[in-house]
Amino acid sequence: MEEEDDNFISLDKVIADLNGTDSYFLNVFNNKGVDLGILRLRKGETDIQLPHSVDEVYFVVEGNGSIEIEGKLKPVKSADFIFVPAHACHRFIVGSQDLVVIYFFA
């Protein structure tokens, strides 16, 4: 049997953990000045996040839609990276497929 390691987690496990919550996001790592998590928005759900005090990078794992940053709308799709500066108003809007996005704060 494989030994557990707090520094390693599979995407499948993260999504399974997210499925077990009532939230649309889940923090995965939060240590040494780095935060990483995942969010999933299904069609019809609203992204209600507020601006953050630090810069943020998103990676779109799957799905499509848009991100609104400071009132400007940009399309997003699987494999896109997105940079959002600290204190910027932003939110995701789901397109024709659910959005699964990994986020990084540093």
**Residue 54 above 60 pLDDT?**
yes
pLDDT, position 19: 83
**Residue 26 above 90 pLDDT?**
no
pLDDT, position 2: 56
Range of the domain at 18: 11-105
Rounded to whole angstroms, the Cα distance separating 62 from 7 reads 23
Q: Per the domain annotation, does 66 fall within a domain?
A: yes
**Mean pLDDT within 2-7:** 66
pLDDT digits (tens, 9 = 90+) for 73-85: 999 999 999 999 9
Q: Per the domain annotation, does 4 fall within a domain?
A: no
- Measuring CA to CA, which residue among 62, 82, 60 is closest to residue 73? 82
| CATH, residue 46 | 2.60.120.10
Helices (H), 11-61: 11-19
- Two tokens, residue 41: 């928005």
Q: Per the domain annotation, does 1 fall within a domain?
A: no
